Amino acid sequence: MGGYLRMKALARSHPLWLAYILHRVSGLLLALFLPVHFWVLSMAITNPQGLDTLLLLTDSVAVKLAEFGLVFLLAVHMFGGLRVMALEWLPWTGSQKTLIALVSAVSFFIATLFFLRAV
């Protein structure tokens, strides 16, 4: 049945399906991250020393990379959500949607650049 598995994989290789799965997987990973995030934040009250030692870890390259991944997931999930809302709530033509996606992506990019210069 290996051949049939190959067949199933082929049928999904189109941008709409990839956008769908990217949105879902990023949402799942963010949902897994959030409890840990809140737990670490709660240490500010329950265990300040523990929090300080944990925060020292954020200087390591591995955590910096993980942070990049996190921001990437957030961006992907946010745009995925905006895409679904535009798709389902705005009866626009395909070219209008492409234009709007392009404009929001460029403005997000510019805004992020300004933000990074500020920090």
Partner 1 sequence: MSSNTIAVTVHRGSGTSKELRTETFDVPAYDNQTVLDVVSWIQQHADPTLSYRFACRVGMCGSCAMMVNGVPRWTCRTHISKVLLDNTVEIAPLRNLPVIKDLAVDMDPFFDKWVAAEGVHHTAVTRDDPIREIDTSGESRQQADAGIECINCSVCFAACDTVAGNADYLGPAALQRAWTLLNDTKDDGREKILAAVSGKGGCHNCHSMGSCTVYCPNELDPMSAIAGLKRETMKQFFGGRKSTATKQGQGDA
Shortest separation between residue 23's beta carbon and partner 1, angstroms: 9
Per rule CB under 8 A, is residue 3 in the interface with partner 1? yes
What does the alpha-carbon distance between residue 118 and residue 12 come to, in Å, rounded to a whole number?
42
CB of 9 or CB of 119, closer to partner 1 = 9
CB of 8 or CB of 117, closer to partner 1 = 8
Residues 57-96 within binding reach of partner 1 (CB under 8 A): 84, 87-89, 91
User: What distances in angstroms separate CA 92 from CA 23, 70, 76, 89, 114, one per listed residue?
Assistant: 21, 31, 22, 9, 31
What does the alpha-carbon distance between residue 82 and residue 19 come to, in Å, rounded to a whole number?
12
Positions in the binding site for partner 1 (CB under 8 A): 1, 3-4, 6-12, 14, 16-17, 20, 84, 87-89, 91
